[in-house]
C-alpha cells in the first residue's frame, strides 16, 4: 500500500509522517488538593466533533463561578470537579461513539 499524501510505501493509507495519532483520555479526577486540571489536560476528546474549545472555555467559566460561590477555596474546587468531570467524560465518550458510527 502507498501513502495517499506522499506515495511512500506503508501498511496503512497514510505513512507515519502524515498520520497523526489521535489521543483520547479522561482523568480520574480534575481536582488534586489545590491543583486543578481543565480543558484537554483533564479530558481530550477526538477533535472531529469540534467541542474541545467550548469545553475548555466552559471549564474556566464554571471554575470562576465555583470559586466565587464558595468562601472556602478547596470547597470551590471540589464543586468545580463535581460539576465538570461528568461533562468531560460525556464529551470524550460521545466523540468516541460518533467516530465509529
Ligand atoms: C487537529 C485538531 C483539530 C481540532 N479542531 C477543533 C475544532 O474545530 N473545534 C474545537 O472546539 N476543538 C478542536 N480541537 C480541540 C481543541 O484544539 C482543544 O480541545 C483545545 O485547544 C483545548 O484547549 P486547552 O487550553 O485545554 O489546551 P491547548 O489549546 O492545547 O493549550 C495548551 C497550551 O499549553 C501550552 N503548554 C504545554 N505544555 C506547556 C508547558 N510545559 N509550559 C508552558 N506551556 C505549555 C501549549 O503550548 C498550549 O499553548 C482540535 C484539536 C486538534 C488536535
Quote the mean pLDDT of the chain: 92
Question: How many Å lie between the centroid of ligand 1 and the Cα of residue 40?
Answer: 7
Is the shortest distance between the CB of 24 and ligand 1 below 6 Å? no
Domain boundary assignment for the chain? 25-99
Residue carrying C-alpha cell 509522517: 17
38: helix, coil or strand? coil
- What mean pLDDT is predicted for residues 12-26? 85
Residue 100's pLDDT band, with cuts at 50, 70 and 90, is low
Q: What's the CATH number for 25-99?
A: 3.50.50.60
Q: Which of 53, 60, 98 to mutate to test the pocket of ligand 1 (most atoms within 8 A of CB)?
A: 53
State pLDDT tens for residues 36-66. 999 999 999 988 888 899 999 999 999 999 9
Least confident span in 44-48, 78-82, 87-91: 44-48
Say how far residue 44 (Cα) sits from the centre of its chain: 2
Amino acid at each position: 500500500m502507498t501513502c495517499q499524501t506522499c506515495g511512500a510505501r506503508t501498511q496503512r493509507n497514510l505513512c507515519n509522517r502524515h498520520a497523526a495519532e489521535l489521543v483520547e483520555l479522561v482523568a480520574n479526577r480534575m481536582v488534586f488538593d489545590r491543583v486543578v486540571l481543565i480543558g484537554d489536560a483533564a479530558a481530550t476528546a477526538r477533535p472531529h466533533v469540534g467541542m474541545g474549545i467550548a469545553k475548555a472555555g466552559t471549564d474556566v467559566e464554571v471554575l470562576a463561578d465555583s470559586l466565587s460561590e464558595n468562601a472556602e477555596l478547596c470547597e470551590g474546587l471540589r464543586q468545580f470537579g463535581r460539576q465538570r468531570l461528568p461533562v468531560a467524560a460525556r464529551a470524550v465518550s460521545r466523540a468516541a461513539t460518533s467516530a465509529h458510527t
